[in-house]
């Protein structure tokens, strides 16, 4: 197994066997906004190599308060900008970029070959659609609900719903005029999302830890 300098440093922390396990799985990321872009960055920093990034949006100035993009990337497709940023962490990533809106008609096909799916949509309707269509197929799904505003980050919990479905959030707050999406809570949720995926991948079982 040939490793670059970054991967060697990760292997020194977690062990070569764990890194090999991490790099063997493919993680699909549904949306490259605040959750998706930050979750992807955390996964790459943990050694994940095979990611499928799916989004149909471009980078806007209003995204920079919480998403893993920079001002010189405004106007670029999010998947392209995110791929560029992720490769600055690990240049040897195996990324699949899909510039397309996820809808009910193409959702299952979009995530064919993905072992794990990180749900990073904006709306409750889209979140529900993904879970209802992919959970019965047995894919391990990590979804997020309730991270808006600036209430205590301690309210953002890990909830095991079933053997292959985990939801992260306070399950209450929704982004809007009174509860804007802000970096701290979005970043905490994205980090928890990546941590659940990391833990599941290494252990090959899900042992819930809500602390």
> Which pLDDT value is given to residue 174?
62
34/187 Cα distance (integer angstroms): 8
φ, ψ of residue 19 to 5 degrees: the values are -65, -40
Q: How many helices (H) and strands (E) does the chain have?
A: 7, 7
Task: Give the pLDDT confidence of 97-133 residue by residue, as tens digits.
Answer: 999 999 999 999 999 999 999 999 988 899 999 999 9
Contact by Cβ (8 Å): 85, 63: no
pLDDT over threshold 60, residue 209:
no
pLDDT in tens, 31-65: 999 999 999 999 999 999 999 999 999 999 999 99
**Domain residue ranges of the chain, discontinuous segments joined by +:** 5-203
| Homologous superfamily assigned to 5-203 | NAD(P)-binding Rossmann-like Domain (3.40.50.720)
Rounded CA separation 93/49 (Å): 5
* pLDDT at 138 (0 to 100): 87
Neighbours of 59 (CB within 10 A): 24
Tokens of 6: 């970054």
Distance, CA of 32 to CA of 30 (rounded, Å):
7
Task: Output the pTM of the full model.
Answer: 0.93
* pLDDT score of 79 more than 90: yes
């Amino acid at each position: 197994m040939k490793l670059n300098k970054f991967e060697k440093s990760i292997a020194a922390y977690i062990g070569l066997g764990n890194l090999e396990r991490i790099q063997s799985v493919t993680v699909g990321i549904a949306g490259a906004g605040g959750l998706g872009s930050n979750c992807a960055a955390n996964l790459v920093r943990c050694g994940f190599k095979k990611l499928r990034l799916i989004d149909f949006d471009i980078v806007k100035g209003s995204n920079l308060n919480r998403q893993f993009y920079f001002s010189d990337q405004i106007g670029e497709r999010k998947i392209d900008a995110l791929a560029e940023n992720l490769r600055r962490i690990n240049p040897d990533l195996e990324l699949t970029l899909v510039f397309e809106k996820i809808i009910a008609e193409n959702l299952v096909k979009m995530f064919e070959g993905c072992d794990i799916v990180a749900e990073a949509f904006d709306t409750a309707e889209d979140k529900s659609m993904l879970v209802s269509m992919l959970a019965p197929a047995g894919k391990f799904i990590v979804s997020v609900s309730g991270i808006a505003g600036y209430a205590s980050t301690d309210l953002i919990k890990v909830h095991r719903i079933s053997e292959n479905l985990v939801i992260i959030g306070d399950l209450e707050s929704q982004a809007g005029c009174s509860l804007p999406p802000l970096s701290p809570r979005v970043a905490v949720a994205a980090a928890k999302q990546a941590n659940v995926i990391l833990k599941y991948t290494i252990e090959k079982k899900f042992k819930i830890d809500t602390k």
